[in-house]
Chains A and B, each alone.
Chain A
């Protein structure tokens, strides 16, 4: 019976090492998270809800593209309260998260046209580009929101891509592997000892002692 238990522990150890290896390779968390919104024609300007810019990592890169290469694409990030004051009740598409399949989750809000964001000065950072624009934002204390638009009015660009990076991961792979190795070694040593004691020579040796009445 002890042999079965030792073998079981060793097998469990092997399994844990395997799981650890899988976590460190196949199931390893991604260094960057990239999510997109596409085919946004005739949609209002795209904005991010509070917390979205920080949710996937400490550094975020936002890229917006317009189907019209001559259109001015605008990206701006400002304090959440200021951006909300600018947005008012106007229609927009709020990004509220992302899926594992790489799509940004959105919610439609408000009604009525939004004036072109490039005419306002609530942006702590902003960029304008012909056909496309890109902006990198490091995690910054406070609440921040982004607005992406294209053209002379507050319309959406044709595509928006958000890439978060720099996230520190706490992988459980080392724990699995270390525990697995311990169980393998423990189980293996126990098996070896039991096997050693179970050999015929060993029994004679013990029996001889027993016969001599020395000690067991």
Chain B
């Protein structure tokens, strides 16, 4: 009797413990896993990661090669935009008119990236590199107008040999964007572009001449106009006007609290033949080709160029504004 009674609690304990444990195990599996609804973090971040930038630049380079081979605007697709597209298409037109084989785009190696922090569009970043076989560096500005639009090459600015880039945060960290009307600088990004346009138009007579340090690009533009005026003195009059473009400026913060500003200018260069004057030769064969093959004009010659300039703008009261890189190209010409 005592033996029989001993078996009952043992068996019961065993059964109960097994049942409880198996029930516990079964409860571990709920059948499905779902993520909880989460608010999207809209904090600004570097607009591109390193691998992402590499993919974008690969696509841009492929589009440049394809565009050069096809020889039409469509050939470049959406990867070539803005001033760079205008200049490239104008060169294609020149080459076609002169029956010259287009120069294949040279590969640009990748030295570093300048990446802004942002959470909105349009977005941009700058790839610094060196075209193969050249000692100079170029700044390639890539812009994406909207979340559904790819980054396209907007401008490719060449740095003069002596120019240096200001110190800017590493691409993995990203640099702060500077608003077009930002204060605390020698001039706001918008003002820098407007003041420089005035300097290129008026030369030393510009109110803003002292705001900018002397540089190769300014000297070249001003001296070209001065030389041309000498050549046509008595026959024609030359006016050269530079105005801020419609896009940009693009600006990011430098390590010293200044800004790297990249802005677009538009130049209209007009040569008007004086009444009773002789006809004038277009000295540059490329310009003549762009003007529809007209090598002489007796009324006027107008050329329109796009200029993209990169400036280092120091904090207010700390020196002058420096041109660190520039790109210029004629986009249209009319000879009459």
Contacts and interface: CB of A to CB of B under 8 A. Distances in A.
Interface string A63-97: 00000000000000001111011101000000011
Contact of A22 (B9, B13, B25, B33): B25
Given A120-B148, A124-B52, A12 B13 contact: yes
Nearest to A20: B21
Nearest to A142: B41
A18 B18 contact: yes
B6 A3 contact: yes
A105 B17 contact: no
Interface residues of A, number: 46
Contacts of A147: none
Interface string B145-165: 001111100000000000000
A97 B14 contact: no
Interface in A101-130: 105, 115, 119-126
Contacts of A22: 25
A181 interface: no
Contacts of A55: 33, 35
A96 B11 CA distance: 46
B283 interface: no
B21 A97 contact: no
A133 interface: no
A82 B35 contact: no
A100 interface: yes
A213 B70 CA distance: 119
B65 to A, nearest CB: 19
A76 to B, nearest CB: 10
Interface string B30-51: 1111111110111101001101
B29 A16 contact: no
Contact of A56 (B14, B33, B45): B33
Interface centre among A85, A99, A115 (most CB of B within 10 A): A85
Interface in B41-74: 41-43, 45, 48-49, 51-52, 55-56
B119 interface: yes
Contacts of B149: 119-121
A148 interface: no
A79 B118 CA distance: 12
Interface string A160-188: 00000000000000001000000000000
A135 interface: no
B6 A115 contact: no
Given A81-B41, A120-B148, A15 B17 contact: yes
Contact of B35 (A79, A96, A126): A96
B35 A51 contact: yes
A80 B40 contact: yes
Contact of A97 (B28, B35, B51, B150): B35
Nearest to A176: B21
A14 interface: yes
A56 B35 CA distance: 10
8 contacts: A27-B28, A49-B35, A81-B119, A88-B147, A120-B148, A120-B150, A123-B55, A143-B40
Interface of B: 5-6, 9-11, 13-14, 17-18, 21-22, 25, 28-38, 40-43, 45, 48-49, 51-52, 55-56, 78, 119, 121, 144, 147-151
Interface of A: 3-4, 7-8, 11-12, 14-16, 18-19, 22-23, 27, 49-52, 55-56, 79-82, 84-86, 88, 96-100, 105, 115, 119-126, 142-143, 176
